[in-house]
Structure 1
Amino acid sequence: MARAAHPALKLLWAALALALLAYAGACALMYSQQRALMYFPQGTRLDAIHTDFQLDRGDAVLRGWVLNPGREDALLYFGGNAEAVEGMRTRLRAWFPDRTVYLLAYRGYGASDGAPEEALLFDDALALFDHAKAAHGEGRIAVVGRSLGSGVASYVAGQRPVDRLVLVTPFDSLVAVAQGHYPWLPAHWLLKDRYESDRHLAGYAGPLLVVRAGRDRVVPPANTDRLIDGLPKAPQVLVLPEASHDSVFNDDDAADAITRFLRD
């Protein structure tokens, strides 16, 4: 006759089963709600009447601003997550008086229609580049991407003839960043929107400036290091020791370095 399982052993197996169920439930919740947890457009929304530029993508109208219109050269700015890009208008207009600057809110951000997701943001960014290229003919088109926007900018640089590229607080991939912040989650298997800048820049050998914040708590230094180490050509790197992830553009050294890089 088989011996009955020890009560303590039964409790142990029951606790393990509950832990596994809780872990699976947490993973399922993160997977199903990941875009709501990843993108933060809520604080950026505004009425379309406050914009002066739009790009019709068929399934959505994207809206933003054009600064210094009529210049031969252009610059595309892709902002960070939760960033209201109109807040950069005064800076960018003053920094780049010889370039027409395009600020376009991502889907679901600002006054743009739709909802954000990686593939759509990438396609929208290429459409903006193509629009600028058609408008500026032989003019040069530079791209600046900040934080999440560095992932968008990296994709554009891998797909289009970007003249110069500036990445502010960039990362190697969003998967790697997420894994660092949530080591208990299998981020590699869960994330749909991956923003693999290391892969997208594998074929980009043009001029590149990387701006990193010494007190960045959002993008760990290791993620920026891996991006830099994997580039086909060593970039220029500006380190701002006292800057945080959100205060980079408050540092005069950032303005000087970026304007000089895009002017040279």
Structure 2
Amino acid sequence: MLYIVGIFFIYIFINFIAFTPVRHTSSTKYNLSGSFKEFKLKHPNEEQINVLYFKSSIPAKATVLFLHGARQSADAWAAYVPAFTERGLNVVIPDYRGYGKSYGNPSEINWYEDGQLTYSWLKTRMHEDSIIIYGAGLGTAVASYLATLNPARFVILENPIYGLRNWIRSHYPALLLPYELKYDFNVYEYLPNSISPTYILQSNRSRECTPEEAIQLQQLLTDPNNMIPIDQEQNVDIFETTDYTKFLDQLAKVL
């Protein structure tokens, strides 16, 4: 009986567990530092996603496709932008359907389609060797999925999850999970098939995966040395840490 109740609970509430978006009206004005453009991209079914585009004030070396995590919306994740634009990297942040000003409903397939739609738009404007795919949190599943299909310059996974099932077990250990979930978000399935150089930025404060799962993900990298540990103090954003800025400095030098 408890198993049946657990299955019913997960089926009904999986979207609330996996996705915690902030939604905005189309008239909302974003108050963000730096200049940016805002535009829509349309899917074949006419559903649209909202995209924020930040240009570096110095000659751009590449463009970062920033695939944000499950919480908030693109305007909140724009806090990362200066770390990139100061190093000559443009940044494009799409909001998945159901997030920000992107209407519709979030789902795993929609996340993958929204990421691919944005990547496809980018590659009509630049060579793929100038695109860096960056995923954060749950967005690492989208980034690692895209990395199996698109030859980007680099792929960066910040605090990746191992898979949604593992994440739920870690955060909600009392829940009884069915054999199959509605969503997978299995980074571990995509990572070995990446066709681009891939890095993992792993913070000591991350709760997206366990230390054991992080080691397993590291072993799936083509080069295990591409696991970059990030020493992050409490109440300090990851992009403000010494290890993170050092990594971006080194990245910018090879572009």
Q: What residue is the counterpart of 1:37 in the other structure?
A: 17
1:53 maps onto 2:53 in alignment: no
Deviation of 1:93 after TM superposition, in Å, equals 4.1
Q: Between the two structures, name the one with larger relative contact order (CA 8 Å, sep ≥ 6).
A: 2
Structure 1 contact 175–188 (Cα < 8 Å) conserved: no
| 2:232 partner SS | strand
Deviation of 1:251 after TM superposition, in Å, equals 1.7
User: Which amino acid in structure 2 is aligned with residue 82 of structure 1?
Assistant: R
Structure 1 contact 145–167 (Cα < 8 Å) conserved: yes
TM-score by length of 2: 0.83
1:80 maps onto 2:69 in alignment: yes
Residue 51 of structure 2: which of 33, 56, 64 is its match? 64
1:223-262 pair list within 5 angstroms: 223-243=213-233, 247-262=237-252
* CA–CA separation in structure 1 for the residues paired with 2:204 and 2:235: 8
Residue 145 of structure 2: which of 155, 161, 182 is its match? 155
Distance 1:29 1:221, change over 3 A: same
Deviation of 1:190 after TM superposition, in Å, equals 3.9
1:34-183 pair list within 5 angstroms: 34-41=14-21, 44-49=22-27, 50=29, 52-57=38-43, 58-68=45-55, 71=60, 73-89=62-78, 91-97=80-86, 98-137=88-127, 140-183=130-173
Greater alpha carbon shift after TM alignment, 80-89 vs 191-200: 80-89
User: Which amino acid in structure 2 is aligned with residue 146 of structure 1?
Assistant: A
Deviation of 1:109 after TM superposition, in Å, equals 0.6
| 1:101 partner SS | strand
RMSD: 2.6
Distance 1:33 1:170, change over 3 A: same
Unpaired segments ≥5 residues, structure 2: 31-37
Deviation of 1:175 after TM superposition, in Å, equals 1.8
Structure 2 contact 218–224 (Cα < 8 Å) conserved: yes
* CA–CA separation in structure 2 for the residues paired with 1:234 and 1:183: 30
Structure 1 contact 173–194 (Cα < 8 Å) conserved: yes
Unpaired segments ≥5 residues, structure 1: 1-20
Cα deviation code 1:57-94 (max 9, x no counterpart)? 13421002111179573210011111332234354245
Deviation of 1:254 after TM superposition, in Å, equals 1.1
Deviation of 1:35 after TM superposition, in Å, equals 1.2
* CA–CA separation in structure 2 for the residues paired with 1:186 and 1:90: 37
Cα deviation code 1:150-199 (max 9, x no counterpart)? 11111111111121011110122222222333445454624211111111
Structure 2 contact 160–208 (Cα < 8 Å) conserved: no
Name the larger-Rg structure: 1
Number of equivalences: 242
Structure 1 contact 125–156 (Cα < 8 Å) conserved: yes
* CA–CA separation in structure 2 for the residues paired with 1:244 and 1:192: 34
- Identical counterparts, % of pairs: 21
Greater alpha carbon shift after TM alignment, 53-62 vs 121-130: 53-62
Distance 1:169 1:245, change over 3 A: farther
Structure 2 contact 108–184 (Cα < 8 Å) conserved: yes
Greater alpha carbon shift after TM alignment, 254-263 vs 188-197: 254-263
Deviation of 1:129 after TM superposition, in Å, equals 0.6
* CA–CA separation in structure 1 for the residues paired with 2:239 and 2:198: 18
Cα deviation code 1:233-263 (max 9, x no counterpart)? 3242222233469832232321331342254
Structure 1 contact 95–255 (Cα < 8 Å) conserved: no
